[in-house]
């Protein structure tokens, strides 16, 4: 059975990543038992002004850990290029 908090956590994670200009088209994002797993290739969205993708994603992971629906964030991803302004 699907946990409602996992669904909320997944929506929150996707929202936070897209709000900050992170492209997750080639990534798999799941929340199971309160643990958010981000796997695959992550990069900046076209037009996003991000200096360092890895630092930005780690900051987002820190923010997500502070939410009650998410206990931990596992980053198993590769970081694709930097944004070209």
Q: What is the pLDDT along the chain (85 residues), one digit of tens a residue?
A: 789 999 999 999 999 999 999 999 999 999 999 999 999 999 999 988 888 999 999 999 999 999 999 999 999 999 987 545 4
What integer pLDDT is reported at residue 82 of this predicted model?
59
Distance CA 30, CA 53 (A): 20
Angle between helices 53-65 and 4-19 (to 10 degrees): 150
pLDDT of residue 29: 97
> 23: which strand partners?
43
Instruction: Please give the CATH number for the structural domain made up of 4-79.
Output: 3.30.70
| Domain spans in the chain, listed from the N-terminal domain onward | 4-79
Model-level pTM greater than 0.75? yes
Q: What's the pLDDT score for residue 81?
A: 75
The reported pLDDT for the residue numbered 34 is: 94
């Amino acid at each position: 059975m699907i946990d409602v908090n996992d669904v909320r956590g997944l929506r929150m994670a996707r929202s936070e990543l897209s709000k900050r200009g992170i492209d997750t088209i080639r990534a798999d994002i799941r929340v199971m038992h309160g643990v958010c797993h981000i796997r695959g290739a992550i990069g900046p969205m076209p037009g996003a002004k991000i200096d360092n993708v890895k630092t930005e994603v780690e900051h987002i992971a820190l923010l997500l850990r502070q939410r009650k629906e998410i206990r931990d964030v596992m980053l198993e991803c590769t970081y694709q290029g930097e944004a070209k302004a």
